[in-house]
Amino acid sequence: MVEYDNEKFPLHKAAFLNDVQTLSRLLSEGTNDIGSQDPHGNTPLHIATMLGHKESITLLLSKNAPVKTKNAQGWSSLMEAISYGNRQTINLMLRKLKSQAREHLSSRKPHLMKVLGSIDDFYMEIKWDFISWVPFLSRILPSDVCKIYKHGTALRMDTTLVDFNDRSWERGDISFIYNPQVEHLKQHLVVLDNKKKKKLMF
């Protein structure tokens, strides 16, 4: 871990020292970029997460610190949090990541509407599967056929593979529906569990 002994990265230094008071003051001044990266590509949130400084993490997330940004090693702050296994921090970051994803989707709405509006309506299927060099293993690995529908500026994708990990996978009937015409931000992207007949959180 690099020690921040100069003022080139004041937010990083405050996060490194877990100096919440200084960190709060610097963020309030608005003159420092909360998403700035040091020579190793780390943001202040990376630093606070790697050192387990929960107070700094909470403060940075409350100020909308970017969760998805990756450092030179290809790690995001969320990946760092997962590697350390702190559930509270992971949950905080997941909630913020979801919020930032919505904001990003909303900011791209005019462009997406223009692009989708210029394309004819269509239906397509995409088949994918896992393949292994181990004999016969490919036969039992998961596969799926994603069905994609486009109508106007709306998109829908149906999938049957809900989740999978090292040992198992779960089948279901899930639909992702994107409709930029809907006014409410949270309704732009909706995830439906068709078997349980309910909307999932996004």
Q: What is the pLDDT along the chain (202 residues), one digit of tens a residue?
A: 555 545 789 999 999 999 999 999 999 998 889 999 999 999 999 999 999 999 999 999 999 999 999 999 999 999 999 888 888 899 899 889 888 887 777 777 788 788 888 899 999 998 877 666 767 666 666 677 889 999 998 889 898 876 655 556 667 788 888 888 776 656 677 888 888 776 665 4
Paired residues of 175 in beta bridges: 158, 192
In the prediction, which pLDDT does 17 show? 94
Dihedral of the alpha carbons of 143, 145, 148, 149, in degrees to the nearest 10 = -150
In the prediction, which pLDDT does 148 show? 92
pTM, entire model: 0.59
| pLDDT one-digit tens code per residue, 89-132 | 998 998 898 888 877 777 777 887 888 888 999 999 988 776 66
Give the pair of three-digit tokens for residue 177: 């529906």
In the prediction, which pLDDT does 3 show? 58
CB-CB contact of 81 with 48 (8 Å): no
**Average pLDDT in the chain:** 83
Distance, CA of 11 to chain centre: 23
Paired residues of 177 in beta bridges: 156, 190
Strand stretches in the chain, DSSP E: 122-129, 143-151, 154-164, 169-178, 189-193, 198-200
Gap between the Cα atoms of 73 and 76, Å rounded = 9
Distance, CA of 187 to chain centre: 17
In the prediction, which pLDDT does 46 show? 97
CB-CB contact of 67 with 100 (8 Å): yes
Gap between the Cα atoms of 48 and 16, Å rounded = 6
In the prediction, which pLDDT does 16 show? 94
In the prediction, which pLDDT does 62 show? 94
Gap between the Cα atoms of 109 and 115, Å rounded = 10
Q: Which domains does the chain have, with CATH numbers?
A: 10-105 (1.25.40.20), 110-200 (no CATH)
| pLDDT one-digit tens code per residue, 64-73 | 999 999 999 9
